[in-house]
Chains A and B, each alone.
Chain A
Amino acid sequence: MDLKTKALTRSLWVFHLSTGSCNNCDIEILDCLTPRYDVERFGIVLVGSIKHADVLLVSGIGTRKNADRIKRLYEQMPKPGFVVAIGACACSGGIFRDGYAMAGPISEIIPVDVWIPGCPPKPEAIIAGIVTLLGRLK
């Protein structure tokens, strides 16, 4: 493991990107930060800019209007970094798969490292997904 990857396994800073989701996944992500789940004790913090982030959390289907912005945000993310697709929409398009506004799923727009399915995934599932990612790194 090189130094950069090793540094990543410590405290992950995450940036949350909603790309036409229904808010369900978004509030479950925020739930992870609040007292019952409190991922901040592991050093996981939500940051306001992609340029500070190690992980890009993507929720939503990736609408046509957003597709270009998703790519641009991914390019701005410092590497090495990870992309986590959260929720059925981000993983496969879910119920919106046949819609005309669909540009995703996310893996067709940017490379995705972890898929967390569910509509919405419970906070436990989201934490488990991130833990699995960290385990793979080590």
Chain B
Amino acid sequence: MDNKKKKVVVPIGPYHPLLEEPEYFALFCDGEVVVDVEWQAGYNHRGIEKLCETKSWDQITFLVERVCGICSTSHPFAYVNAVEDLAKVEIPERARYIRSIVGELERIHSHLLWVGLAGHFLGYNTVFMWAWKYREPVLDIFELITGNRQSYAMMKIGGVRRDVLDEDIPVVERVLDELKPKLEMLTQAVLDDPVLSARLKGVGVLTAQDIKDYGAVGPTARASGVAIDVRRDSPCAAYGLVNWQVITCQEGDVFAKAVVRLLECFESVKIIQQCLEKLKKNRGPIAVEVREIPPGEGIGHYEAPRGEVFHYVRSDGTNRPVRHKIRAPSFVNIPTFRASCLGQTISDVAIILAGVDPCYCCTERMLTVYDAQSGRKMMTGTDLVRLSQEKTEKIKQKMGKNG
């Protein structure tokens, strides 16, 4: 579309109260209605993939943990899966349960965080305060079993770094038992609220076809009736050993996304409870020793709270990877804004943007864009400057030779 014809541009960002992180969206509006969206990224780009090439295999676990603070066990999870795929390592059963416990605790904390923020964006601060209050006990469990409220450092190539102590298990079970009625109350309160229904139902609808076109993943896809979940489709850790369900909704609006996330919390509680039961019976090592990483390639997936996170590593047999590629779920979820925002009013766009639970610091990897039709590389401003400077350099050398 020709942007010049559109009358009003409403900028959101880079620093905006709606966004926790710096990010820029330009909404092209015709009256109240949004007719086009533009997205500018790069404010959070930290060059993690390049830094990975300078760190050893064991150090990278800590680096990828800091790709994103909210899904700070999902990235190491996918990374260790990738390296274990490369080195053909089988992890002990006890480590599988501990990995799943940490992964699911993170899902509960992340989903509650989203429900709170969504409430805040709608001007419903009661929901914000409730959700974050009920999130605190989950962080307490983290502090108990891993030693930190965020960035748990539990993953390790070949297993986990710390064991869950026997005396801690009853405490975790008790906190989860207490959490369940609170979660039920919050879920009922959110789902029965007439104001929230009026604001969220039929807003920002993504059809199953949209999801397939954009390749969206995670709760965004499941809210539109596309039942994809890495935990079920290629089970890692203990997900194949416990009973749980993939939650889906058919509507595809923001309300459905909230329903999926809230109901997923209960599935997570179910998974953790089963894993804790298994931990009591299963005695054994929590890690196997991995001495050398052979040359080759490995891929690893994990279902982060926002969708599938994918890591690729290539090794040449030394103690650090030659290439490490990360693809976070928000990278494919954010482009769906074009399908969900167009035709909506400005006041609804805030909650639609928040609806996919975008995580910008996950997303911002370096990439080069090629035009699909011509196969030509798209140039950025910096590239043009570099080309121009190179030409001057060449001319200078030539003149130096001739004159």
Contact = CB atoms under 8 A, between A and B. Distances in A.
Contact of B132 (A19, A26, A34): A34
Interface in B124-148: 128-129, 132-133, 136
B15 A20 contact: no
A83 B359 CA distance: 26
Interface in A21-35: 21-28, 30-31, 34-35
B361 interface: yes
A18 interface: yes
Contacts of A94: 66
A92 interface: no
B306 to A, nearest CB: 12
A61 interface: yes
A71 to B, nearest CB: 13
A120 B69 contact: yes
Contacts of A63: 43-46
Given A24-B69, A26-B69, A98 B44 contact: no
B384 to A, nearest CB: 17
A134 interface: no
A88 to B, nearest CB: 9
A69 interface: yes
A42 interface: no
Nearest to B137: A36
A26 B68 CA distance: 11
B274 interface: no
B43 A27 contact: no
Contact of B62 (A19, A49, A50, A95): A95
B175 interface: no
Contacts of B63: 95
Interface in A1-54: 16-28, 30-31, 34-36, 48-50
A35 B47 CA distance: 36
B132 A30 contact: yes
A137 interface: no
B72 interface: yes
A99 B69 CA distance: 18
A128 interface: no
A28 B43 CA distance: 21
A96 to B, nearest CB: 5
Contacts, number: 113
B201 interface: no
A101 interface: yes
A20 B72 contact: no
A119 B332 CA distance: 28
Nearest to A64: B45
A35 B69 contact: no
A74 to B, nearest CB: 12
B132 A66 contact: no
Contacts of B133: 34-36
A79 interface: no
B403 interface: no
B14 A20 contact: no
A22 B133 CA distance: 22
Given A24-B72, A27-B113, A35-B133, A99 B149 contact: no
Interface of B: 14-17, 20-22, 42-48, 50-51, 54, 62-63, 66-70, 72, 113, 116, 128-129, 132-133, 136, 149-151, 359, 361
Given A30-B20, A102-B46, 12 more contacts: A20-B46, A22-B361, A23-B20, A24-B66, A26-B21, A27-B20, A35-B129, A61-B46, A63-B44, A69-B22, A95-B63, A98-B54
Interface of A: 16-28, 30-31, 34-36, 48-50, 60-61, 63, 65-66, 69, 73, 94-96, 98-102, 119-120, 122
10 contacts: A18-B22, A21-B21, A23-B21, A26-B69, A28-B150, A48-B17, A66-B22, A96-B48, A96-B51, A120-B69
8 pairs of A and B residues whose beta carbons are closest in the complex: A24-B69, A48-B17, A34-B132, A23-B69, A99-B47, A22-B69, A35-B133, A101-B47
